[in-house]
Structure 1
Amino acid sequence: MAEKAEELVAESEDLIYVVDEIIKHGDYVLSQNPEMLPVLKEAGVVDSGGEGLMTVVKGAYDALQGKEIDYTLEGVAKTGSGANLDDIEVEEADIKFGYCTEFIINLDNPLDEAEEDKFKEFLHSIGDSIVMVADDEIVKVHVHTNQPGEAFTKALTYGSLSRMKVDNMREEHHERLIQNAEKRAKEQAEAEKKAEAKKDEPRKENGFIAVSVGEGLDEVFKSLEIDAIISGGQTMNPSTEDILNAVDKVNADNIFILPNNTNIILAAQQAEILLEDKKLIVIPSKTIPQGIAAMLGFIPGESPEDNKESMIESMSGVATGEITYAVRDTVIDDHEIKEGNIMGIGDDGILAVGEDLEATTIEMIENMVDEDSGMISVYYGEDVKEEDANKLVEKLEEKFPDVEVECYMGGQPVYYYITSVE
């Protein structure tokens, strides 16, 4: 939007025209947002931060034109932290193709380009989320479909099958919702119990809150002496109320909060304004690695102001990379991306695109490492096996012998890997 604004200002001095065109451009970019991240596409939503920005700009435009502003809130839904498990309605996800189907074709004869395209076209006709990698001897296939049998039958025309696997995604989603609800209820009960116990403890000078997603990442923050963790993520951004509830559980005069997501910083800043009996210090961390680095920059005994400066300086030396997959064909940052491609996303855009998870991750990290880099940290997600993460680390150690490589179980959804280079 900023670049578009610069173009328009150079063309015209008519402020009404310029802002109107900026809004049109912003709405278009926002509509394309779900194509960039699978989690947004699957949830059927756009980026909440982007939508909020557009609402602010449109409000300014209306005010600029002298329009009367309607301050009525439209159906704000609150998710109270005190919900009981029995009150939670578990809904089945809107999953178009219900079976995650994987297999390997042991080819009778190598496929030429036309045959590969024809087979891939067939897979598109019965499903989506297609990943197909072929060489002269085998073809590895991943597809979401409602007819796994048809996929197997078609594949058998090219050779024999091995490592066949079919998972019912609707059933898995249903079970995961129940498990998550039970986990949240248990965590809430434990948190309330701990909060009650802490009320009797002497009030300390400094406390810490972090927004995190994934059991492993939660443990990393706990090891850094975080007092309270708020569950969050791309489609589950905590509200200002959630943050205030977490602050209430931390018995300290000064509380540092790490949002670890661009979309959560504003909610944290609003909570900072609303607090009266405690001082909330917002460290504007945009990623999990930035939040971890910020905690390492805290200096006991220093003032909150000096520590805020130290923590921000500490996180500024960290580069973040995240590995996910594309849900459809698109073009981002001059990268042509096909449905099912693995994407490496850095602080400033796309760093790598490919079909192989490990190779794309290594390429992304190559684009992050420079001559001053001293450490690579890898946090593997819930869809990555520990042995695969260890293999990746071994290759990184071979490729970057002068850089220390550390690996942690992050357990995060959506992103196969979250990495940092410092």
Structure 2
Amino acid sequence: MKKIDSKLFINMFEGGCKFIAVNCDYMNELNVFPVPDGDTGTNMKITTTSAIENVKANITDQSNLYDITKLLARQLLMNARGNSGVIFSQIFRGFFDPIKEDTKEIDINLFIECLIAAKEKAYKSISNPVEGTILTIIRVVSEEVVKKTYNNTLELLENVTKIALDALKKTPNMLPSLKEAKVVDSGGYGLCKFFEGMLQVLSGKETLDDQEIKQASSEIKDISTNSKTTFITNPSRFEISEEGFGYCCEFIIQLNFKTTETQKAKVKWVKNIFEQELLEHGDSLIIVNDAEIVKVHVHSLYPYKIFEIGQKYGEFLKIKVDNMTKQFLDNHPEISPKELFKKFRMTNDIKIVATVPTESLAQYYDSQFNINNTIITEMIGNPSTNDLLTGIKTANSTNIIIVTDDSNIILSAEQAAILYKDKANVQIARCKNTMESIFACTVFNPNISVFDNIKEINKIIKKSFTGLLSTSVKTAQFGDVLVEKGDFIGIVDKKIILAEKNSEIGVISLIKKLVSRIRKPKIVYIVYGLDVTTREIRNIEKFVNESYGIKCKNIKGDQKLYKYFVGVQ
């Protein structure tokens, strides 16, 4: 089977929907987040089955592949429920983008192009993408599927399903809540099941009954706890942040539409402005738009404020509101409202929310500074305002310091602080790189005020000198420094100050330049990235000890972009 026509594709899509529906209850059990927006399995089942039913009712024998996929994209968006449903709708909206009006069949190359487009659309559509979720599955599939050649679409989809399953098994290592509950991500599981359902149809097995479909899930269930009672008693089922209280609000508006002639003209819709308005009253925000249709998912304590914002720009096509606190208490009769609210009452203790490039550095911050509210940036890129707001709320304190590790994050951090100013005193430690961030955390003192901590952080940054060693991607002249592609370049204050062919020579040269700026250096810090050898680290440490008679502190960072972060005090 080398090509997939419109009829076969509809059958494959329906097969994917059936696999989700049959595994719905198990997906609900996997959902370790107790409140956010109902149950993942239920949401994905309603999203997919409603969409396919509407499409089948509205197509004819003359409907081509383009017509069918456009209708599917719209129906998925209109029927999307919860985070998982919305993200699933965006994955397949992207998947359908490469299919054009004259496309009659999906061949191997087009299928791969669709998978890549699915990843791109999903990540662009979500304001705060989180790794270890359904997003990770489609990202890994899009990256890995191109590494092989295929004889037919069946072979291709077999590999897609395998890649997705392998990625799913790794999700507990990406999200602490999954690891603690010993489960894989529920939304990612749903996407894997969908691919399996498509594969079953493509391979000619269209008559599987429900029990056979459930048995096909045994490989994943072997690595997951499969007792709902276990989840209820597991501590991670009780780890909800403030965003777990209040209401899950979802609505769809048609922009510039009025229900009566006498209504005021609608405000021109600009996504960034719309997003900021909603974040003033909520979180866990997802916004997707398709032409004149905008779908919103957001959590808020004040749903009427959310709907007032939406109605400024258009009129509602659908509205859904769920009381998340009530849902949680209904599912946990052993917990009283008083106990719930007491557990999540905000503390006055000063908490740090730090952006870090890697999981290894997040673990270092936890072990060395007792800072566990970290946002890992290599997974998501520069965090959005929404990402930072989520980090602030997770800290659950009225006194918070955001420690950035990149100057490009500072504006988003400032915006998050403004949005949260009525709930907490949020201050920014404006660190421009990872080494400055580490220095900031070394002087943090929970026994003095937020403002005094900021003063001490600013002092240590002013007294320290930091630099970065990276690899050049082009040949160019930077002042007196000639850089060739592949050279290791030393960067200080965003200026290239040296270029070397060897990374060890490069980092030693960078250390020399930084040490020369301090009259009496006391210590050299290096954070080393991926693929740095133990021998190289020892040589650098020996150079610092013998040349300056001071200690060289080595930290395993595992960062990809920069070979080394260097700091001297």
Taking structure 2 as the reference length, the TM-score comes to 0.43
Whether the 8 Å CA contact 1:85–1:181 is kept in 2: the answer is: no
Matched AA of 1:84? T
Q: After TM superposition, give the deviation of residue 86 of structure 1 in Å.
A: 7.6
Provide the residue aligned with 2:531 in structure 1.
383
Task: Tell me the matched-pair count.
Answer: 270
Match of 2:175, as an amino acid?
Answer: K
Establish whether residue 205 from structure 1 lines up as the match of residue 367 from structure 2. no
Residues in 2 aligned to 1:234 and 1:319: alpha-carbon distance in whole angstroms: 27
Q: CA deviation at 1:194?
A: 7.7
Change (3 A) 1:409 1:258: same
Q: Percent identity?
A: 22
Structure 1 residue 179: Cα displacement: 8.4
1:84 matches 2:133: yes
Quick one: which of 351, 368, 374 aligns to 1:229? 374
Could you tell me which residue of structure 2 aligns to residue 257 of structure 1? 402
The answer as to whether partners of 2:130 and 2:380 remain within 8 angstroms in 1 is no
Residue 307 of structure 2 is matched in structure 1 by none
Per-residue deviation at 1:272?
0.4
* 1:333 pairs with 2:322: no
Kindly state the Cα deviation for residue 184 of structure 1 after the two structures are TM-superposed: 6.2
8 Å contact kept, 2:469–2:488: yes
Question: Where do 5+ consecutive residues of structure 2 fail to align?
Answer: 1-123, 148-162, 181-235, 243-341
Q: CA RMSD in A?
A: 3.2
Alignment-mate amino acid for residue 407 of structure 2:
T
CA distances 1:144-203 after superposition (whole Å, capped 9, x unpaired): xxxxxxxxxxxxxxxxxxxxxxxxxxxxxx89x948972564335359658439972662
Contact 1:258–1:284 at 8 Å: present in 2 too? yes
Amino acid of the structure 1 residue aligned with 2:560: P
Equivalent residue for 2:514, pick from 364, 368, 371: 368
On the 8 A contact 1:290/1:316 being kept in 2, the answer is: no
Secondary structure, aligned partner of 1:368:
helix
For the residue of structure 2 that corresponds to 1:376, the secondary structure is: strand
Q: How far does residue 366 in structure 1 lie from its aligned partner after superposition? A: 0.5
Higher strand fraction (1 or 2): 1
Q: Does 1:346 pair with 2:395? A: no
The equivalent position to 2:467 in structure 1, one of 321, 332, 343, is: 321
Q: Deviations over 1:107-144 (max 9, x none)?
A: xxxxxxxxxxxxxxxxxxxxxxxxxxxxxxxxxxxxxx
CA contact (8 A) 2:544 2:551 kept: no
Whether the aligned pair in 1 keeps the contact of 2:171 and 2:178 (CA below 8 Å) is no
**Bigger RCO of structures 1 and 2 (CA < 8 A, at least 6 apart):** 1
Structure 1 residues 298-321: Cα deviation after superposition (integer angstroms, max 9, x where no partner): 233322222212221122222111
Q: Quick check: which one's helix share is greater?
A: 2
CA distances 1:368-403 after superposition (whole Å, capped 9, x unpaired): 0033211101111112123321222112222222x2
Distance (Å, rounded) in 2 between the aligned partners of 1:343 and 1:244: 35
Question: Does structure 1 residue 355 correspond to structure 2 residue 355?
Answer: no
Query: Quick one: structure 1 residues 328 and 93, their matched pair in 2 at CA, closer, same or farther if it must change by over 3 Å?
Result: farther
Contact 2:397 2:424 in 1 (8 A): yes
Describe how 1:79-118 pairs up with structure 2 within 5 A.
Answer: 79-81=128-130, 84-85=133-134, 88-89=137-138, 90-93=140-143
Give the secondary-structure state (helix, strand or coil) at the position aligned to 2:515.
Answer: coil
**SS state at 2:240 partner:** helix
Superposition pairs of residues 104-183 of structure 1, within 5 angstroms: 178=167, 182=171
* Gaps in structure 1 of 5+ consecutive residues: 1-74, 99-173
2:451: which partner in 1? 305
Could you tell me whether the CA contact under 8 Å between 2:137 and 2:168 is conserved in 1?
A: no
In structure 2, the residue matched to 1:196 is: 240
8 A contact 1:383–1:413 mirrored in 2: no
**Larger Rg computed on CA atoms:** 2
Which one of the candidate residues 361, 364, 369 is aligned to 1:220? Answer: 364
Partner letter of residue 298 of structure 1?
F
Which residue number corresponds to residue 261 of structure 2?
none
State the SS of the aligned residue for 1:382.
coil
CA contact (8 A) 2:358 2:378 kept: no
Checking the alignment, whether the CA contact within 8 Å between 1:390 and 1:407 is kept in structure 2 is no
Q: Structure 1 residues 229, 387: closer, same or farther in 2, change over 3 A? A: same
Alpha-carbon distance between aligned partners in 2 of 1:235 and 1:349, rounded to the nearest angstrom: 26
The aligned counterpart of 1:187 is 176
**Distance of aligned partners of 1:82 and 1:394 in 2 relative to their CA distance in 1, 3 Å threshold:** closer
CA distance in 2, matches of 1:204, 1:322: 36
